[in-house]
Amino acid sequence: MMAKIPCPDCGVIGSFSLADEVYEGPYKCWKCRKLYKILIERGAVKLCEPIDEMEFERLKSLGDLKRKSRGGDEE
């Protein structure tokens, strides 16, 4: 599923590919490079708040850990 994310800063519409109906995590605008924490439910953006580089990296690391643990569960 693809979600459309309007950047609150520059207004450009970005696309985000989703594996699940719900996603919560980091997002970087492809045009202005601003960082956000987003929540998407069933293709609709429910939250898009600005974050700093440190929080972006923290959320990214958490997402990586979640993906690794899901992959490990399937083996």
Q: What does the pLDDT profile of the chain (75 residues) look like in tens digits?
A: 888 999 999 999 998 888 888 999 999 999 999 999 999 998 899 999 999 999 999 999 998 887 788 765 444
- Tell me what pLDDT residue 56 has: 96
Task: Please give the model's pTM, rounded to 2 decimal places.
Answer: 0.80
Residue 14 within any structural domain of the chain? yes
Residue 36, CB half-sphere, CA atoms under 13 Å: how many? 24
Residue 74 within any structural domain of the chain? no
- Tell me what pLDDT residue 69 has: 80
Residue 72 within any structural domain of the chain? no
Number of domains in the chain: 1
Domain that holds residue 45: 2-67
CB 43 within 8 A of CB 1: yes
- Tell me what pLDDT residue 73 has: 47
27: nearest Cα among 55, 68, 69, 66: 55
- Tell me what pLDDT residue 74 has: 44
- Tell me what pLDDT residue 1 has: 81
Integer Cα distance of 72 and 51 in angstroms: 30
Residue 51 within any structural domain of the chain? yes
